[in-house]
Chains A and B, each alone.
Chain A
Amino acid sequence: MFFDLYNYWIVFVLMMIGLYMVINQSNLIKKLIGLNIFQTSVFIFYISVGKVNGGSAPIFSSTETLYSNPLPHVLILTAIVVGIATMALALALVVRIKKAYGTVEDSELQEKDPKC
């Protein structure tokens, strides 16, 4: 009973690692990788919620009667692609920052531009 929830725990551990990277790493690219990990942990969380014991993939077939929940799959499917698109946008911003300031380190950025 207690270990029924292990899946969610993995999710939260991953989530915390991602959050740690976002907060504590000063390199912007590293931050983005952390963000990606965070994102994936949320994906895993959704898919875990949709899982049904003994169920199978939600593609109709004559031999199966129990399926996993298709709704989270749909949400996550689109979220992954949207995630990569927004990530690309973020990376583009990083490249621009590099061009403008010559660095992608958080601390150096703050020194160069105290306003931000």
Chain B
Amino acid sequence: MTAIAIARTTDLFAAVMLSGIYGLVSASFFVALDAVDVAFTEAAVGAGIFPLLMLVVLGVTGRYEKTALKPQKAALMKKVAVVITMVITGGLLILGTMDMPAFGDPEAPAQQHVNIRYIEQSPEEIGIPNMVTSVLASYRGYDTLGEVLVIFTAAMGVLALFSSQLFVTRKLSVKIKKDDMHDHNVLRIVSKILIPLILLFAFYVQFHGEYGPGGGFQAGVIFAAGIILYTMLYGLDKARQVIKPGVLRVLCALGVFIYGCTGVVSMLSGGNFLDYSVLASDPIIGQHLGILVIELGVGITIAAGMILIFFAFSHQAESQLGEE
């Protein structure tokens, strides 16, 4: 499989390309296993954002892996030891699967508990067809809030690590670097057509998430991908004029804020925290409203967070290039 090849290549760049393929493969795997929402996310993240981030970092750290400096024998010994450990652990794990219910067995214990309620009740209780969305936003609203907070924190962490001049607009007159993409005119024009389409599609995914696969997480990533495409083609400075990093930072927090506020509002109007049924006179409409608002919050946070992270990385890469 792809993974073995990734492990063996020393050329990091090639490894990143292969990990892109790996993302695609695993996403098709998810489709085959009926997990459309997951495939959606994995396609956007595993095949898109992750390799891009890796590439930016490679631009900073250098492309080739160094060959081992240690004496060969010690390295070999270590390798053998690691492989043996691997085989033993893997063997034990596989042995463990012997007790597991067969793959796809509807009688398996994992299918017996809350799952039945989710599947049978959610169309009546929440009133939207996509069960993944209803579980995500309503039944397990706390979890999702936590995850959004984690993403927010991670974005802030990246920014803190690159305590850089990202928020100070550089003077453009310093030196206009040779724009790498300047001679790719065809690319620029096609992308100009595509970017609005991508952003539009992101909105479609955002608000259609109740009926088909999609939702805030995916939409945020797609939106960020559109902006990232713009950044790559027109340079960071231009992209920062379009979307100010300061605004992004506020947006990133705003998403979490929206999410939390929805919970508080529902609590104030007499329900539990994040219980949307009380938001409108009809519980189902209330649920609808709550999920819509929350997905919006999630989408905003993810999009802003991803763009911020990308900006931070590519700013780092560019400034390093400027130093040399």
Indicate, yes or no, whether A interacts with B: yes
A13-43: CB near B (< 8 Å → 1, else 0) gives 1111111110111110110111011001001
CB of B151 closer than 8 Å to a CB of A: yes
Interface SS of chain A: helix, strand, loop or mixed?
helix
Quick one: which of A29, A48, A98 contacts B103, CB cutoff 8 A?
Answer: A48
- A5 in the interface, Cβ–Cβ < 8 Å? yes
Choice from B15, B106, B154 contacting A86 with Cβ under 8 Å: B154
Are A37 and B97 interface neighbours, CB within 8 A?
Answer: no
Question: In the complex, which of the residues B34, B82, B305 contacts A68, with contact meaning CB atoms closer than 8 Å?
Answer: B34
A49–B110 contact, CB under 8 A? yes
Closest-by-CB residue of B relative to A91 is: B57
A26 CB to closest chain B CB, in angstroms?
A: 7
Known: A44-B26, A77-B136, A84-B45. A20 touches B86 (CB 8 A): yes
Report B66-100 residues with CB < 8 Å from chain A CB: 66, 68-70, 78-79, 82-83, 85-87, 89-90, 93-94, 97-98, 100
A105–B50 Cα distance when bound, in Å, is 21
Total residues of chain A contacting the partner, CB 8 A: 82
A16 close to B103 (CB less than 8 A):
no
Contact B36 A59 (CB under 8 A): yes
In the complex, A53 has a CB within 8 A of chain B: yes
Contact indicator B3/A18 (Cβ below 8 Å)? yes
A33 B15 Cβ-Cβ under 8 A: yes
Given the complex, which residues of A lie within 8 Å of B200, measured CB to CB? none
Query: Chain B interface (Cβ within 8 Å of chain A)?
Result: 1, 3-4, 6-7, 12, 15-16, 19, 22-23, 26, 29-30, 33-38, 41-42, 45-46, 49-50, 53-54, 57-58, 60-62, 65-66, 68-70, 78-79, 82-83, 85-87, 89-90, 93-94, 97-98, 100, 102-106, 108, 110-111, 114-115, 118-119, 122-123, 129-132, 135-136, 140, 143-144, 147, 150-151, 154-155, 157-158, 161-162, 211-213, 217, 220-221, 302, 305-306, 309, 312-313, 316
- Interchain residue pairs with CB less than 8 A apart (16): A8-B94, A12-B94, A23-B85, A29-B54, A48-B33, A53-B104, A58-B130, A61-B129, A73-B132, A76-B35, A76-B38, A77-B217, A82-B154, A85-B309, A92-B158, A107-B69
